[in-house]
Amino acid sequence: MDFDRIIDRRNTESIKWNVFDEDVLPMWIADMDFRSPEPVIDALHKRIDHGVFGYGLPLEGLREAIAAHLVSRHSWMVQPSEIDFICGVVTGFNHAIYSLTKPGDKVLIQTPVYPPFLEAPSEAGRECVFNQLQRKEDGRYEIDFDDFEAKAASGVRLFILCNPHNPVGRVFTREELTRMAEICLKHGIYICSDEIHADLIFSGYQHIPIASLSPEIGDITVTYFAPSKTFNVAGFSTSVYVAKNPEMKQRLSKSMRMLLGHPNILGLHAALAAYQGGGAWLDEVLQYLEINRDYLNDFVLEELPGVNLWRPEGTFLGWLDCRELNLDTTPQTFFLEQAKVGLNDGATFGEGGEDFVRLNFACPKSVLEDGLTRMRGAVRRHQGV
């Protein structure tokens, strides 16, 4: 599988490649610059060739394929009846907020975090409560559990977890997950777990679905994930949720029918082909991403003085600490203007994200090398080297 291949995406409707000017190398929005698995492409060709695209039902075998994937990749036993579909994970945690809380309720979120987390509670008339992750001297983020419990005890009704965490790259341990979940059980808090990067875990780490920890924890948790990040099919807006508690599942299903509709036919066919036949592609892309991650880590350490990176345990996103550069502007603006590299502005990820940028390394290695070389030139010019 040729992940070194450069595929021109400027000639498509790609958000990633068409927001910035053509002289800017985009390394921001979280999709991959790799061709999707061939079984997915073949399945889509077959369905399109049929030529009729009316209303559809969930595909036969799709729930079973997802359940088999969860067992083989994460040792999580899920019944097909506990699985349903939604038009995106962002739609999903908005879905959970509307379904499991009432206006005025408090929703707990850990910052810095993917920006839509920050907007969703207030847009729904709920109150956002923040538990800021603590960055240690080595760059690793840890949970402030004293603050977490204090916030949980303040009347929170829903905790939205991001694991693996976007943007800091943590894959939370069983001990961390258990402690958070037990606090939620103690205070009667539902858990909404965004696990969209669950399959993108590097050597030495393991993703543990928080709902898999115990039946009691499973009963208070709805888990959202998708083939989108795993198999690079984000454009189909087809995601999955798992709710083991029948009462919770009924509430979620009712609100979905009223508000959200269903994923489209092509997205469901892409999902079925990905979960049934995309395993080899996923294994290879993980190896490639790990090489890119290590190259990024070493380059930042050796070639970008004033920039710090803690090597991510999962995702394909680097969270670059630029505070020591002492810039007169934001790092995102600096690298856009001085290096012609498009990155995510860390300030949009909430408290603790200021003077950081997020870099997507799911691209051919030559593209990563180009972007980092541009950034090195900008840093050297800034430092007068």
159-169 burial code (b ≥16 CB/10 A, e <16): bbbbbbbbbbb
Mean pLDDT to the nearest integer, 198-226: 98
User: How does strand 106-111 pair with strand 127-132?
Assistant: parallel
CATH number at residue 355: 3.90.1150.10
| Structural domain span for residue 131 | 52-277
Tell me: do 251 and 347 sit in the same domain: no
> Strand 356-360 vs strand 317-321: parallel, antiparallel, or unpaired?
antiparallel
Specify whether 265 is located in the same domain as 293. no
Summarize pLDDT for 260-301 with one digit per residue, the tens. 677 889 999 999 999 999 999 999 999 999 999 999 999 999
Quote the Cα angle for 270-271-273, to 5°: 65
Q: Final residue of a domain: which of 212, 245, 277?
A: 277
Last residue of a domain, one of 221, 245, 277: 277
Give yes or no for residue 81 having a pLDDT over 80.
yes
If asked whether residues 57 and 179 sit together in one domain, one would say yes
Same domain, yes or no, for 213 and 314?
no
Tokens for 89?
Answer: 């994970």
Q: State pLDDT tens for residues 57-75.
A: 889 999 999 999 999 999 9
Q: What is the mean pLDDT of residues 220-229?
A: 98
pTM reported for the whole predicted model: 0.96
pLDDT over threshold 90, residue 11: no
Contacts 24+ apart (CB under 8 A), 212-219: 212/74, 212/75, 212/76, 212/77, 213/174, 213/177, 213/178, 213/181, 214/181, 215/244, 216/185, 217/181, 217/184, 217/185, 217/191, 218/244, 218/245, 219/244, 219/245, 219/248
CATH of the domain at 235: 3.40.640.10
In a domain, 43, yes or no: no
Mean pLDDT across 216-227: 98
Within this chain, do residues 142 and 58 fall inside the same structural domain, yes or no? yes
Mind listing the pLDDT tens digit for each residue in 150-207?
A: 999 999 999 999 999 999 999 999 999 999 999 999 999 999 999 999 999 999 999 9
Tell me: do 239 and 328 sit in the same domain.
no
Identify the domain boundary among 218, 249, 277: 277
Q: Do 61 and 158 share a structural domain?
A: yes
Q: Is 55 exposed, middle or buried (0-12, 13-18, 19+ CB in 10 A)?
A: exposed
